[in-house]
Amino acid sequence: MAAEDDSFLTLAQRAVEAGLAWARERDVRMTFVVLDLTGTVCAAARMDRSRTITYDIAVAKANTALQFQDTTAALAARVKPENKIAIGQLAPRIAFLGGAVPIVRDGEIIGSIGASGGTEEQDTESAEACLAAVA
């Protein structure tokens, strides 16, 4: 992060801007959400003409990455389908779909980024681009 302003809000806004740029370059209408360690939305953007449900999905993906401390792409590949259903029924805002990554600083998770609106592959790639922008 830049030395002049190292707040989490600045990091979150930078991540969202990177996601929007990624989506614009590919003409995909998406939503990006950044959660802090408490699970609070610190920055978010839903592009014009993106489906309204993409916000809730991006929040659920970001929350999943935060709570499970892993990317949702890795979790989607690793968690058994029957367990995904059971966990989803027990815990709110959980989505085992690619498109979210934890934000790690000095070996500690400090938040997460969720993306929704494209294909699962696009969501995953755009979330990784958001993360790269704040690395």
Tell me, what's the pLDDT at 75?
Answer: 93
Amino acid at 109: I
Report the distance separating Cα 40 and Cα 11, nearest Å.
Answer: 14
The domain locations on the chain are 8-133
43 near 34, Cβ under 8 Å? yes
In this prediction the pTM is 0.92
The residue whose two tokens read 């809000």 is: 9
pLDDT band at 3 (very low <50, low <70, confident <90, very high): very low
Report the distance separating Cα 36 and Cα 122, nearest Å.
Answer: 23
Kindly report, residue by residue over 52-101, the tens digit of the pLDDT.
999 999 999 999 999 999 999 999 999 888 887 788 778 889 999 999 99
**Fold of the CATH domain 8-133:** Beta-Lactamase (3.30.450)
